[in-house]
Chains A and B, each alone.
Chain A
Amino acid sequence: MMQAGELRSVRVVNDRQIPGRQTQTMQQMHRGVPVEGGSVTLQRTGSTTVSVFGTLFNSISIDVTPAIDPIDAARIIEKAANASIPFGASPTLVVFPSPVGTFALTYKATVAYAITYYVDALTGDVVRVVDEKNYDTGLGTGTLGEPKKMATTLIGGTYRTKDTLRPAGISTYDTGGSSAALDRLVNNNSATDSDLASNATNTWSNAYVVDAHSNTGLTYDYFFRQHNWSGLDGSNRPLSDIVHSGNELRNNAAFISPPFGPDKNGVMVYGRTSGGAPVTSMDVAAHELMHGVTFFSLSNRTGSGFTNIVYTVVGPTSFVFNGTTFPCNNTVLVDSQGIRRPFLCTSSGQYILGASHGGALNEALSDVFGTSVEFFYQAPGSGPLKADYQMGEDITGFGPNRSLSDPASLTFNHDSGTRPYPDHLRKMMNYALLVTGGTATNPTTVSFSPIGFSDGTFVFFLNNGPDGGGVHLNSTLFSHAFYLAIEGGRNATSGVSVSGVGPANRAQIEKVFFRAITQLMPNNPNLQTAASVVIQAAVDLYGAASPATQAVTQAMTAVGLR
């Protein structure tokens, strides 16, 4: 077809991800006239074709001699559109395929507001009008009264939260508090346009919807602008949000990984606080979307997200609770089903403690980019709608719930009081492991018990549970390193001081952490390995002697990960 002149090369683009590869787009031609919608894209290495995708039309036999000239076609189009064709442009001849397999020689031109007209070049009849613009930008009011731009779509006379401006597309669904709707959207991959949040006009006052939809969009923009990363997987996999005011997500928000979600691409779900405030602030939305980025970047490189490996340390031989000593070898825990579970002990009778490092790292990276998105859009400071190193602080009656700048300034609850979040590996929470399969001497499976230890201190999580091995509680020691690498300062536990790159260079550290997770991180790191990956990312981007590399190296040392 190429030699016969039926395909014309339109563009050759170098593959950004695989060196040496190119993609070439070819336009189908019929007797020198482009065939509308007829094109193929080839992926090739040198002269070897790797793949070909696209659509070509067969059996086109029409004559390509027009009966009317472009000036007459322009007049017909402008009269039909009551609008001008762009200055300098004139209608162009294209072969237009119909749905029933016939072809027409047409003139094509786009007039104001991106409406394209096709005029039969033989009869002068307008054969097709395509409104290329199906989006709209509305105005919303966020939770704190701030104005937000809403990328929406007018569907059947109703505005819906379907963002088609961003290349990935963002759909925000509203369950209306229905548990059944939440279940259907998350678990049954079943969604229609009617599940999207809607409004009669394009002025939105439902702050719950406004914040979820617009903050997801702004986070998408941040990743694109700061990291040249498009959507969840870098290749514009579609994004979905669900706002759900029911009880399932009270005081919480989550990214639920594929294959769940309305289109099996995972979904970000936002709940409300006990006081009714939407858990949809910018840092929370960015946090959840970053979970998606973490999942897909790891999955695409390694085959899975963070694996559930439990890294262990050796604990004491016993602990004392309410005046009673509990030695590892003679203590069992009765679970909710009444089953007696022994603890995992060393041969010398010490408790074996564990934590989910991958989980903590996952949460830490989401906090890192939750705050990064804030700094990208908001002025630094304290108070509402100011960029800071705290998470969830803009949610009324809720936050802040974690601090990257001073983790220990915030505490978490346990059953004997409160405890500061860790800012150093030494203060990491580790949990006594229960034998849940096999025997105490030959275990096949283990799980986290609510018996925790931190810095030699016993902490009992009877009601709150072990947080999946401390995924949230332990995240701060890693995310604190991010803060130190930018702002500098002294770690309160180690006393190690860090020369940060300074707020003006914060983008460097953001890029370092982003490269670490999206390009280098294995799916099974402990926190020390993750620290080394971050330092390697800094070396890759800025060199071993760069201030950025020095800053992250010092920061990881300061938090005990080196």
Chain B
Amino acid sequence: MTFVNRKICRSIAMLVMSAAVTTPAAAQSYSQRRIEISGNVGAQTGASKFTQSHSFTFNAETETLTVDHDVKTTLGFNAGGAVRLVSQLWAGVQFAMAEMKPSASITAVIPHPLVFNASRTVEGSMNDVRHNEQNVHVDVMYALPLHAVDVRVMGGPTFFTVKQDLVTSVAINESYPFDTATFASATTKQLSESAVGFNAGVDISRALSSHVGIGGLIRYSRGDVKFNDQATGPQTIKAGGVEAGGGVRFRF
């Protein structure tokens, strides 16, 4: 976790703690509002590491490419709105966005250009492999007024839109007789795909006035996004992850 992200998390924790120990006069009317608009800034980590595998013909044999994509915690934000349906039941929609650029470890088994069955294995890595998520969380929320704070447990489907850099090929350093090779560079292609998954989380807020509050959000979301491009072959990656942030709430 970066220095910036540690600061964010620490701020969120302090926010939640302060909400639990103070009770402003306007809290009651804030809790009874029917519509909420919220925005949060925080940290998001990728759902999980994933391995990209791809095979294609090269040097008259099959080259295999295996890329272990790492995850990284990054700055994310979300914004959305919710409507109280009945006394403790809310429905809401949130748009969340995060972009991370983790590293990737690359292993390629590259056929010999002159001889059959004499492939060379090269290993390398690549930084700043882009992973961008723009997700829409549709939630049903159950509100639990707890002392001076509103606690809402939520869950529902998530519509993921992921832009992902996937490795299409590697370039190598080699010379005759080509028995060995070393990694030189990798070429990536950015693909975009959508999928439906789920999310679940907790939102805690505290009123600062009858219309304005502050809050914190912890949510886990998950979806399998399937890419199918000729340059990368079929790949499935996990979208979502843990999202933790804090921000403002406006209720009407």
Chain A contact residues, CB within 8 Å of chain B: 82-87, 89, 110-114, 135, 137-139, 147, 149-151, 165-167, 217-218, 221, 224-225
A residues within 8 A CB of B127?
Answer: 87
B residues within 8 A CB of A151?
Answer: 113-114
CB pair A149–B60 under 8 Å, yes or no, is yes
CB pair B60–A139 under 8 Å, yes or no, is yes
B125 lies within 8 A of chain A by Cβ: yes
CB pair B125–A149 under 8 Å, yes or no, is no
Report how far A199 CA is from B183 CA in the complex, Å.
32
CB pair B176–A149 under 8 Å, yes or no, is no
Q: Which residue of chain A is the closest to B58 with respect to CB atoms? A: A137
Report how far A419 CA is from B113 CA in the complex, Å.
46
6 smallest beta-carbon distances between A and B, as pairs: A86-B185, A139-B60, A112-B171, A112-B187, A137-B59, A86-B184
Report how far A557 CA is from B184 CA in the complex, Å.
56
Q: Which residue among B124, B170, B185, B188 has the maximum number of chain A CB atoms within 10 Å of its CB?
A: B185
Total number of B residues with any Cβ neighbor in A under 8 Å: 22
CB pair A166–B60 under 8 Å, yes or no, is no
CB pair A165–B176 under 8 Å, yes or no, is yes
B residues within 8 A CB of A113?
Answer: 169, 171, 187
Report how far A138 CA is from B185 CA in the complex, Å.
23
A residues within 8 A CB of B93?
Answer: none
CB-contact partner of B114 in A83, A87, A221, under 8 A: A221
CB-contact partner of A87 in B126, B169, B176, B187, under 8 A: B126
Q: Which residue among A112, A135, A139 has the maximum number of chain B CB atoms within 10 Å of its CB?
A: A112
Report how far A480 CA is from B185 CA in the complex, Å.
52
Chain B contact residues, CB within 8 Å of chain A: 59-60, 113-116, 124-127, 169-171, 176-178, 183-188
CB pair B171–A111 under 8 Å, yes or no, is yes
Q: Which residue of chain A is the closest to B178 with respect to CB atoms? A: A165
CB pair A84–B113 under 8 Å, yes or no, is no
Report how far A458 CA is from B50 CA in the complex, Å.
82
A residues within 8 A CB of B171?
Answer: 83, 86, 110-114
CB pair B114–A138 under 8 Å, yes or no, is no
B residues within 8 A CB of A166?
Answer: 114, 176
CB pair B184–A217 under 8 Å, yes or no, is no
CB pair A149–B116 under 8 Å, yes or no, is yes
A residues within 8 A CB of B185?
Answer: 83-87, 89, 110-112
Report how far A83 CA is from B171 CA in the complex, Å.
10
CB pair B115–A84 under 8 Å, yes or no, is no
CB-contact partner of B113 in A82, A149, A167, A218, under 8 A: A149
Q: Which residue of chain A is the closest to B129 with respect to CB atoms? A: A84
Q: How far is the CB of B166 from chain A (nearest CB, A)?
A: 13
A residues within 8 A CB of B116?
Answer: 147, 149
Q: List 10 A-B contacts (CB under 8 A).
A: A84-B185, A85-B185, A87-B126, A112-B187, A137-B113, A137-B114, A165-B113, A165-B178, A221-B114, A224-B176
A residues within 8 A CB of B178?
Answer: 165
Report how far A110 CA is from B115 CA in the complex, Å.
26
Q: How far is the CB of A133 from chain B (nearest CB, A)?
A: 9
A residues within 8 A CB of B176?
Answer: 165-167, 224
Report how far A138 CA is from B184 CA in the complex, Å.
23
Report how far A218 CA is from B171 CA in the complex, Å.
25
CB pair B126–A137 under 8 Å, yes or no, is no
CB-contact partner of B115 in A139, A149, A224, under 8 A: A149
Report how far A111 CA is from B184 CA in the complex, Å.
8
Q: How far is the CB of B107 from chain A (nearest CB, A)?
A: 14
CB pair B177–A224 under 8 Å, yes or no, is yes
Report how far A89 CA is from B126 CA in the complex, Å.
11
Report how far A138 CA is from B57 CA in the complex, Å.
11
Q: How far is the CB of A162 from chain B (nearest CB, A)?
A: 14
- Known contacts A137-B113, A139-B60, A221-B177; A84 and B125 CB within 8 A of each other: no
Report how far A437 CA is from B113 CA in the complex, Å.
57
- Known contacts A84-B187, A137-B60, A217-B114; A225 and B126 CB within 8 A of each other: no
Report how far A224 CA is from B113 CA in the complex, Å.
16
Report how far A530 CA is from B210 CA in the complex, Å.
110
Report how far A135 CA is from B60 CA in the complex, Å.
13
Report how far A82 CA is from B169 CA in the complex, Å.
12
